[in-house]
Chain A
Amino acid sequence: MAKQLVQKAYVIVGALVLMSSTLVAMGPATPAGAAFTYQAKHAGGTLHLLASTAGGTLDPQVNYTLQYWQLYQASYDGLVSFQKVSGLPSFDVVPDLAVAMPKVTNGGKTYTFKLRTGIKFSNGKTVTVKDVLASFQRIFKVSNPNAGTWYNDIVGGPGCVSKPATCTLSGGVVVNATTNAVVVNLIKPDSEFLDQLAVPFGSIVPANTPGKDEGDTPVPGTGAYMFSKYNPNTGLTMKRNPYFKVWSAAAQPPGYPDTIEMTFGETVESEVTSVENNQANWVFDPLPTDRLQQISTKYASQLHVNPLTADWYAPMNTNLAPFNNLKARQALNYAINKNDVVNLYGGTKLGQPTCTILPPGFPGYKPYCAYNSTSSSTYKGPNLVKAKALVKASGTAGDKVGIVVTNDPVNLAVGQYIQSVLNSIGYKATVKPLSANIQFTYIQNTKNKVQISVSQWYQDYPAASDFLNVLLGCTNFHPGSDNSINIAGYCDKAINAKMQAAETLELTNPAKANTMWGEIDQAIMTTGAPWVPLFNPKLTDFVSKSTGNYQFSDQFYMYVDQLWVK
């Protein structure tokens, strides 16, 4: 779900063992993994959510932001979905619109689903296999951000990527209206295919939904709620789906509020004050660092802190001076004091310095720190002596370096800190702040000649390849394109081959594959150092005193629809 998730407040990550919410003060604490028990007495009311800006298009097959993905959990369903429970089991994929998990045959290349019967969209029409086929085709027709990387393994996918308008996925998705069967044929086995179907891109929408980004127009879904109003300038409203009936509480539990409203346009400071004054229920945006002390002291019972499987990192352009020189990249890895960066984010309770690409607790994670003040697998501090020596050895001292960051306070502060570090080891650095709306695509496009930037990555689903292959694989480097998520432009063919091998191994031996991913992580940082991994963040959710039943998914974060309005 990528970098757009950044718009949330985050801080460090500890081990996933710690992943259960550290503070669940309001409402009953549901044990991790236990299905939610619906308590009708808490139903009703209007939930007021606040976000400083809208999250873009409302189309679930196009939008790629946490802001709306959190809302989609209660409004859309795929054939499968991530389990709606708290804790680690929220990473598990369960059947949703499908009766059961698919039957996998043909060496992992054929998935056979059976669609549930009697489920209706929020417009009253019954969900049929035709809608399923059309939804698969629509992924390509709307040029879904990951159509070319996730879904082009479906037979016919590559043709749909090149000619979206005429996409049929002939032979790729075969449906039978009589048996309600949906057969998906892949070109090659893909161990992450079900994860990719379980995110909102895999939502099943009516077959007559136009094959274009619907933008501000709500698309009917099957979830407990439906979008009834959307104005990117003012806000959105979700009402109960009148046709919704529970078919699987693990996949789509009933929600509590009658209405969910998200208002746009206030400053974050104002949002926080509104929640403090009980005028709103929740703040989507990252909490201002200046208010953290007050909130965590005076409103401690209303603040929830959860570790995330995410990275804050500084990708260095491996194809552009000075960072086309390995020694220069290693120098910066030695020079940056990650504890200082954590302080800029809000302190050690909100972030944990990291040296690896994979977050702690993630599949394949192995503690390791190649660039450290002392030899240790955990981060201890910077080594400026080594850093300066490497800069000198690289012959890049005196080079000008531009650091492209978003212009929000924390990113800007991190950028200014990196500027200070670069200047101290011999470079002439400048900070280039850009609006968050454009920075993410700007730093991906090689035409912009970005030397180094500050970015964030939040898992789409729990698989090592979602970090290593997506962010540093050769196939995800597209020079001249805004959609080149391998921002560092790093391409080591030997390591890329190992990543392909690890992905194949996942199908038969996940444990061994994860060991391999850990080795790949270490190899990338040791031999390539394309990033400076900075820290793993934690997420802070601040709710009002009249808000109860806070539940947290490790996959999609707070369950908005499970909140009680007291």
Chain B
Amino acid sequence: MGEIGSTNELSTVDLVAIGTTTARGPESPWRSSLRQLRRNKAAVGAFALLVFVITACLLAPVYAHSIAHENPFVSNLNGTIRLGGKTVQVLQANTQGLGLGVTPIGPTWHFSTYFLGADSQGRDVFARLLYGGRTSLFIGFISAVICCGVAALMGLVSGYFGGAIDWLISRLFDIVWAFPIYLLAISLSVVLLTSGLNIAFIHIEAGSLVLPILIIALVFVPYVGRPIRGLVMSLKEREFIQAAIGAGASDSHILRKEILPNVMPSIIVFFPLMVAFNMLTESALSFLSIGVQPPAASWGTIINDGLDLLYTRPWVAMAPGIMIVITAGALNVLGDGFRDAFDPKAKLRGSI
């Protein structure tokens, strides 16, 4: 992982500086940044690719039910399909040599039936790939929203109020940060996915998607929260904040109206990166069977399903791997575009 963040002194003044002046007066920094983003061809291309992937994944039910006519969540071990006018078994027994082994059908390259072949349960890999994308992206986006939201809140409070609050929150960050990310995520997953989460009135079942979302969001909070805290501490010393304090503005007002708008570009820059990170983490956990639980699919679970078919049906593992690379790459390029537009000093993020 690249370096994420050090302190930043981004302010409204800075944002104005990267804008342009029109005949009607200075352009708002947001509008300027968005215009700059639109000019970034790589970012626009990455955005278009993401939209395509997301749309395809959203259409998974349409593909499964109306085109492939398969239920990708039900084993189909003795099923057959029509291919080239012939009836073909989805799981095919070896007829050569000693005749040992049963192999799932490989890619047919016919869009309407087992386009990427079947997995060891006889399920349509392409349909599962689309459903898996929905899950992986859903977890990636939602956990990124939660992660950035919680991190922003903690960073704002910690950086602005300082003192004991800052000490407490910083130590919490230290504790989480002290663990290797994947070790912490694996540990939490093993515990929570076995018995579910039962704390006071909170009851989350072991197989729920909420668990991987919360786990992934939690482990990345310090990675966003710390730079935000540093940024807030820096902003707090700036003249316009001192002026607001001097004018008697409340803490709540200063945080919402003065600091948050200046921190928001940094959060926006972080967001695509965290989506990519979270998606990769989800895939890793699911690959280890401690993320999304079968028969539900995510790209990580499909890679896991394909691991035992690498020799004869490599597409089962390769297809979701390629989708992860494409999506994470697109998010990274888009993140770079956000950085160039919103954080031209490039202090806040590196890349995956």
Contacts and interface: CB of A to CB of B under 8 A. Distances in A.
Contacts of B206: 430
Given A290-B311, A430-B206, A432-B194, A340 B78 contact: yes
A287 B287 CA distance: 22
B181 interface: no
B20 to A, nearest CB: 57
Interface string B289-321: 100011100000000000111111100000000
Interface string A148-167: 00000000000000000000
Contacts of B199: none
Interface string B49-82: 0000000000000000000000001110110000
A305 to B, nearest CB: 7
B22 interface: no
Contacts of A407: 289
A420 interface: yes
A343 B294 contact: no
A269 B94 CA distance: 19
Nearest to B89: A343
Given A289-B308, A290-B308, A337 B289 contact: no
B78 A347 contact: no
Contact of B75 (A290, A292, A417): A417
A416 B121 contact: yes
Contacts of B98: 23, 296-297, 300, 303, 305, 349
A207 to B, nearest CB: 46
Nearest to B98: A296
Given A343-B102, A347-B102, A300 B75 contact: no
Given A340-B75, A420-B75, A424-B74, A292 B121 contact: no
Given A290-B311, A407-B289, A409-B308, A296 B120 contact: no
Given A337-B77, A420-B121, A289 B97 contact: no
A346 interface: yes
A278 interface: no
Nearest to A431: B294
A295 interface: yes
B159 to A, nearest CB: 43
Contact of A346 (B75, B102, B293): B102
A347 B101 contact: yes
B328 interface: no
B103 interface: yes
A350 interface: yes
B96 interface: yes
A430 B78 CA distance: 22
Contact of A413 (B120, B207, B312): B120
Interface in A356-408: 407
Contacts of B183: none
A294 B102 contact: no
Contacts of A416: 75, 121, 294-295
A288 interface: yes
A344 B77 contact: yes
A293 B94 contact: yes
B279 interface: no
A352 to B, nearest CB: 14
Nearest to B308: A409
B100 interface: yes
B101 to A, nearest CB: 3
A339 interface: yes
A337 B102 contact: no
B129 interface: no
A288 B100 contact: no
Nearest to A292: B101
B327 to A, nearest CB: 26
A346 B102 CA distance: 5
A289 B78 contact: no
Interface in A301-334: 303, 305
A441 interface: no
B100 to A, nearest CB: 4
Given A305-B100, A430-B206, A297 B94 contact: yes
Nearest to B96: A297
B99 interface: yes
Interface centre among B78, B97, B103, B309, by most A CB within 10 Å?
B97
B168 interface: no
A349 B103 CA distance: 14
A295 B98 CA distance: 9
A433 interface: yes
Contacts of A430: 206-207, 293
A347 B77 contact: no
Contacts of B121: 413, 416-417, 420
A296 B93 CA distance: 12
A531 B207 CA distance: 26
Given A288-B311, A300-B97, A343-B102, A419 B77 contact: no
A350 B101 CA distance: 8
Contact of A289 (B74, B96, B102, B294): B102
Interface in B194-243: 194, 206-207
B91 interface: yes
Nearest to B78: A340
B329 to A, nearest CB: 29
B230 to A, nearest CB: 43
A9 to B, nearest CB: 10
Interface centre among A293, A298, A423, by most B CB within 10 Å?
A293
Interface centre among B93, B101, B194, B311, by most A CB within 10 Å?
B101
B294 A347 contact: no
Contacts of A293: 94, 96-97, 100-101, 103, 312
A135 interface: no
Contacts of A289: 101-102, 120, 308
A412 B305 CA distance: 10
A343 B94 contact: no
Contacts of A421: 75
B77 A343 contact: yes
Contact of B99 (A291, A298, A349): A349
Nearest to B103: A293
B212 to A, nearest CB: 15
Contacts of A340: 75, 77-78
Contacts of B307: 409
Nearest to B304: A412
A546 interface: no
24 contacts: A290-B103, A290-B309, A290-B310, A290-B312, A292-B94, A293-B94, A293-B97, A294-B312, A296-B97, A297-B96, A300-B98, A305-B100, A339-B78, A343-B93, A346-B100, A347-B94, A347-B100, A347-B102, A409-B308, A413-B120, A416-B294, A421-B75, A423-B74, A430-B206
Interface of B: 73-75, 77-78, 91, 93-94, 96-103, 120-121, 194, 206-207, 289, 293-295, 307-313
3 cross-chain pairs, A with B, having the tightest CB-CB distances, nearest first: A292-B101, A297-B97, A296-B100
Given A300-B98, A420-B295, 5 more contacts: A11-B100, A293-B94, A296-B99, A416-B75, A431-B293
